[in-house]
């Protein structure tokens, strides 16, 4: 008999239901508004140019929120250089779902838009955008402030960010702007000078080359789709490194610095700390210029930029939150004015899943600029040192890989940076007595002597830990062009060098290393060889900043939802206690015919409410001792099948049986299944062993049942299991994830792309790991796109296309007979003539001694006999058909081309 009276149970159930409804209503009320949207692709013809008489067709997309009542404010959304309207599609859809009419377009000279690239010229790209404002003003769905004046904000990053600033300075109809990771002065961006010397800066050749290479097509192969004056400016700077006045005027014309005093639209400036193209100082100059005109301006720094840092951990949620907050207030009149407080973030480490960075956000009451609110002064040691400038800057030191440096490399490891012996001088500080939070531009005084009276130098600041591992924060370097130098260092005048602004916590015990180099692969160095002498004069000054920690918007929502969920759980506690006795008496039904079979999938289907069908109908079996490969093109349904199998989502139809037990989310039988489906996740500060132990303890099962040593032996981790996982290579993390899945030696192992990111030796070892595991009655199901590996690893294969199985069975049977053979011969030329005369369909060279022969029905024995009779030695004859050939024959070009859900 139950310990609770029946009436009490009923009341508990009723109370729990009421609580759930109340909490659901509360969650619905606090969550951001979501709305559907519609999109229309169109061509908009505008006239621009100095005389407004040059037509250009812009490839555009117009999005509207569904279910809107009346007119809505609009957002003009611009893309970055080299992009198209599709580059900002997700942002456009998010804004439309938020209730805005969104117009995005492909800028002139890119994609399907016509015209030439003028680098955000006021006469061209900016006028194009003005005509788009005219277009918006005529739309009946768009709110207007006056005839021809739409209520509109402009949002864009990089190339699009500069456009937002220039448009706001040229057209007073713009009501709010959110430019991000963009420039202030294009001449300074591509010719930076880190010292106030009055000379031209150092040409940033790598970034300029990437910009110029982003354009293709056009009638001029040397210039692509660039306008002639832009092309000539680039060719001149790339050749000499020194711009003429026409080039400086052209770059200046495309610079927001020229219109800051005319910007009246409230401005949210978002700039990335991982950006060797447009560093934090560019936003700083924009902020000061706009604020001087009395316009509301707010600045936010985030852990991203052109060199990386756009993943989930790079506080993109905070950036999106600030953008929506800004637009909602200034376009829609929602919420209080955001204010002019300053927010920034810095890297704190890795996430618990070890898949991305974790950032900590901070706020201050006012924007301090790049000089911080305080400073730390550190003495530098090191005598004057001679350094050689190599001819033509080769070999050159590496500070960053423009456009390619990952956020992990540029922010954490610093492994990209390297200096050439004999070409750099080093000056160091004593170990830090306490941690220092740097937020801004460090400065150092430098003296240099040159036999030519000139020198180009590159100053860097490394953070060096106790193990002498040096990190160049974000790959940032300060280029300095000096003229009028003395030949003797004793007569040299000191120059203050301002390094790029960084955001970094320097740990206690670390030292700082100032490096002065003569070359850098990202910049154009003097061609003539020379030897300089350099020394530091005084101290290294670090700007510091202390702020109030803030949680990301995503974290805030989770705190709110977590509290509400806790209330729900408390409300359900009574109900759970009441039903506990019943659950104990439940008996799980086992299908006898499947009781000894690891996996049986029958009639599996997965469809979504929007009509998308990820899995049409799939059924297959995995027997003991088998390694089964699940194959298919992108969008075929592989990952969805695995997610259903692991109880991560529920099927629309069909059943899955694991050892005879029907599988449902949370089923007890899942304890007999080991899996790696969503990627490896580990705590970086723990060793591999500690991570595995923590995982197993979370399952609630005794440690003795983990069979830890056996799992380690199969996975082949060796002594690495006692190293901290933050020091693991990608291959070691994958292997640790496999070991985690193998804990307890589950009878069925399910793996999604276990060789992802591994090099060939690691892939070969993973092959052996899986084959070793499928012994003693165990089985493995593995999803992979590496067909050659599946062919060598798996005993059986299941080929899926468009949500259905197109072939299944032993790999050898799927591969089948081959109409093509590979032949190794002693004389390729003679063999080709002989085989061609036999009537084979084709003969193709394959290496120095090999031929690929399509037999066209000719017996293999006849081919070999003909070669031998003609005196041509035959070393090897093997069928050419591989699993890849069979796979392509089965799926052809009919794959869906969209990713699994």
* pLDDT, tens digit (0-9, with 9 covering 90-100), for 128-154: 999 999 999 999 999 999 999 999 999
In 3D, which of 517, 507, 533, 513 has the Cα closest to residue 480? 517
Q: Is the pLDDT of residue 584 over 90?
A: no
Mean of the per-residue pLDDT values of the chain = 82
Counting Cα atoms < 13 Å in the Cβ hemisphere of 117 gives: 28
Asked whether the predicted pLDDT for residue 774 surpasses 90, the reply is no
- Predicted confidence band of residue 345 (pLDDT cuts 50, 70, 90): confident
User: Please, which pLDDT band fits residue 577 given cuts at 50, 70 and 90?
Assistant: low
Give pTM, 2 decimals: 0.62
Q: How confident is the model at residue 122 (pLDDT cuts 50, 70, 90)?
A: very high
Which pLDDT band, with edges at 50, 70 and 90, does 399 fall under? Answer: confident
Mean pLDDT across 339-348: 81
Residue 354 pLDDT level (bands cut at 50, 70, 90): very low
CB 474 within 8 A of CB 410: yes
Note the pLDDT of residue 236.
87
pLDDT band at 76 (very low <50, low <70, confident <90, very high): very high
The residue among 406 and 92 whose pLDDT is bigger is 92
CA angle 221/226/230 to nearest 5° reads 115
For 361-409, the three-class secondary structure string (H helix, E strand, C coil) is: EEEECCCCHHHCCEEEEEECECCCEEEEECHHHCCCCECCCCCCCCHHH
State the pLDDT at residue 368. 93
Q: What is the pLDDT of residue 808?
A: 83
Q: What is the CB neighbour count within 10 angstroms for residue 589?
A: 8
Query: CB 704: neighbour CB atoms within 10 A?
Result: 7
* Interstrand relation of 748-752 and 779-783 (parallel, antiparallel or unpaired): parallel
pLDDT for the residue numbered 295: 95
Q: What is the pLDDT of residue 652?
A: 87
Higher pLDDT, 301 or 15: 301
- Given this model, what pLDDT does residue 786 score? 66
Please tell me which residue, 82 or 409, carries the higher pLDDT value.
Answer: 82
pLDDT in the model for residue 5: 34
31 or 479, higher pLDDT: 479
- Looking at residue 126, its pLDDT comes to 97
Write out the two tokens for 675.
């899996």
Percent pLDDT > 90 in the chain is 40
pLDDT of residue 406: 38
For position 562, what pLDDT does the model report? 54
pLDDT in tens, 486-530: 999 999 999 999 999 999 999 999 999 999 999 998 899 898 999
State how far the Cα of 797 lies from the Cα of 248, in Å rounded to an integer: 63
Q: Which of 302-316, 372-386, 822-836 has the highest mean pLDDT?
A: 372-386
**Banded pLDDT at 218 (limits 50, 70, 90):** low
As a whole number, mean pLDDT of residues 621-637 equals 85
Q: Which domains does the chain have, with CATH numbers?
A: 37-187+255-369 (3.40.50.1820), 198-250 (no CATH), 371-546 (2.60.120.260), 592-814 (3.40.50.300), 817-880 (3.30.70)
pLDDT digit string, tens, across residues 155-195: 999 999 999 999 999 999 999 999 999 999 999 999 999 88
The sign of the CA dihedral 104, 110, 116, 122 is positive
**Residue 820 vs residue 232, higher pLDDT:** 232
């Amino acid at each position: 008999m139950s310990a609770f009276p029946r009436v009490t149970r009923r009341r508990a159930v009723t109370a729990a239901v009421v609580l759930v409804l109340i909490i659901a209503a509360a969650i619905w009320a606090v969550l951001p508004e979501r709305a559907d949207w519609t999109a229309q692709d169109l061509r908009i013809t505008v006239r621009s140019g100095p005389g407004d008489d040059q037509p250009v067709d812009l490839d555009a997309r117009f999005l509207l929120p569904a279910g809107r009542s009346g007119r809505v404010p609009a957002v003009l959304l611009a893309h970055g250089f080299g992009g198209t309207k599709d580059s900002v599609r997700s942002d456009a859809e998010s804004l439309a779902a938020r209730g805005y009419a969104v117009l995005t377009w492909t800028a002139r000279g890119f994609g399907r838009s016509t015209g030439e690239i003028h680098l955000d010229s006021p006469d061209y790209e900016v006028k194009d955008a003005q005509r788009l404002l005219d277009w918006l003003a005529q739309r009946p769905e768009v709110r207007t402030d006056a005839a021809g004046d739409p209520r509109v904000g402009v949002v864009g990053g990089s190339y699009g960010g500069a456009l937002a600033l220039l448009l706001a300075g040229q057209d007073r109809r713009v009501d709010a702007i959110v430019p991000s990771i963009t420039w202030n002065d294009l001449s300074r961006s591509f010719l930076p000078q880190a010292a106030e010397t009055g000379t031209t800066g150092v040409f940033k050749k790598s970034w300029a080359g990437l910009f110029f290479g982003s354009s293709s097509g056009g009638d001029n192969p040397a210039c692509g789709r660039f306008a002639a004056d832009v092309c000539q400016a680039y060719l001149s700077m790339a050749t000499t490194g020194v711009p003429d006045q026409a080039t400086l005027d052209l770059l200046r014309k495309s610079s927001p610095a020229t219109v800051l005093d005319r910007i009246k639209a409230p401005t949210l400036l978002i700039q990335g700390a991982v950006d060797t193209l447009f560093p934090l100082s560019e936003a700083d100059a924009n902020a000061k210029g706009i604020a001087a005109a009395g316009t509301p301006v707010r600045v936010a720094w985030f852990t991203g930029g052109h060199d990386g840092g756009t993943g989930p951990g790079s506080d993109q949620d905070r950036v999106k939150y600030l953008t929506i907050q800004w637009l909602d207030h200034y376009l829609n009149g929602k919420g209080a004015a955001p204010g002019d407080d300053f927010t920034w973030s810095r890297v704190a480490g890795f996430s618990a899943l070890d898949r991305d960075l974790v950032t900590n956000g901070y706020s201050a009451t006012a924007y301090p600029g790049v000089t911080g609110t305080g400073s730390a002064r550190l003495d530098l040691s090191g005598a004057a040192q001679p350094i050689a400038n190599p001819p033509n800057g080769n070999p050159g030191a590496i500070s960053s890989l423009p456009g390619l440096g990952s956020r992990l490399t540029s922010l954490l490891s610093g492994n990209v940076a390297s200096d050439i012996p004999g070409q750099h001088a080093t000056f160091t500080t004593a170990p830090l007595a306490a941690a220092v939070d740097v937020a801004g531009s460090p400065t150092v005084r430098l003296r240099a002597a040159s036999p030519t009276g000139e020198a180009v130098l590159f100053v860097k600041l490394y953070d060096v830990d106790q193990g002498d591992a040096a990190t160049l924060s974000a790959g940032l370097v300060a280029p300095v062009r000096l003229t009028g130098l003395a030949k003797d260092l004793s007569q040299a005048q000191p120059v203050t060098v301002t390094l790029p602004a960084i955001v970094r916590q320097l740990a206690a015990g670390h030292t700082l290393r100032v490096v002065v180099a003569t070359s850098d692969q990202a910049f154009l160095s003097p061609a003539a060889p020379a030897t300089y002498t350099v020394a530091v004069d005084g101290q290294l000054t670090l700007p510091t900043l202390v702020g109030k920690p803030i949680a990301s918007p995503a974290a805030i929502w989770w705190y709110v939802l977590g509290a509400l969920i806790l209330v729900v759980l408390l409300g359900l506690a009574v109900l759970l206690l009441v039903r506990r006795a019943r659950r104990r008496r439940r008996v799980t039904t086992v299908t006898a015919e499947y009781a000894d079979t690891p996996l049986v999938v029958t009639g599996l289907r997965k469809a979504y409410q929007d009509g998308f069908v990820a899995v049409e109908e799939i059924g297959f079996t995995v027997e003991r001792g088998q390694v089964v490969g699940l194959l298919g093109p992108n969008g075929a349904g592989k990952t969805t099948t695995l997610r259903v199998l692991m109880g991560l989502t529920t099927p629309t139809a069909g059943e899955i049986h694991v050892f005879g037990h029907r599988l449902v989310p949370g089923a007890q039988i899942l304890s007999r299944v080991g899996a790696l489906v969503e990627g490896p996740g580990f705590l970086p500060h723990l060793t591999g062993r500690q991570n595995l132990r923590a995982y197993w303890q979370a399952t609630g099962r005794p440690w003795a049942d983990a069979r830890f040593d056996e799992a380690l032996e199969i996975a082949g981790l060796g002594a690495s299991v006692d190293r901290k996982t933050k020091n693991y290579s990608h291959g070691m993390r994958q292997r640790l994830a496999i070991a985690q899945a193998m804990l307890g030696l589950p009878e069925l192992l399910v793996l999604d792309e276990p060789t992802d990111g591994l090099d060939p030796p690691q892939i070969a070892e993973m092959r052996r790991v899986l084959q070793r595991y499928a012994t003693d009655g165990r089985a493995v199901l593995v999803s992979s796109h590496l067909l050659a590996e599946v062919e060598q690893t798996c005993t059986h294969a299941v080929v899926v296309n468009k949500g259905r199985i197109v072939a299944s069975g032993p790999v050898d049977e799927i591969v089948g007979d081959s109409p093509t053979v590979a032949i190794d011969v002693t004389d390729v030329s003679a063999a080709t003539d002989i085989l061609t005369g036999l009537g084979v369909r084709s003969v193709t060279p394959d290496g120095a001694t090999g031929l690929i022969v399509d037999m066209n029905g000719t017996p293999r024995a006849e081919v070999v006999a003909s070669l031998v009779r003609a005196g041509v030695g035959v070393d090897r004859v093997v069928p050419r058909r591989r699993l890849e050939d069979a796979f392509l024959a089965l799926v052809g070009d009919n794959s869906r081309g969209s990713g699994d859900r």
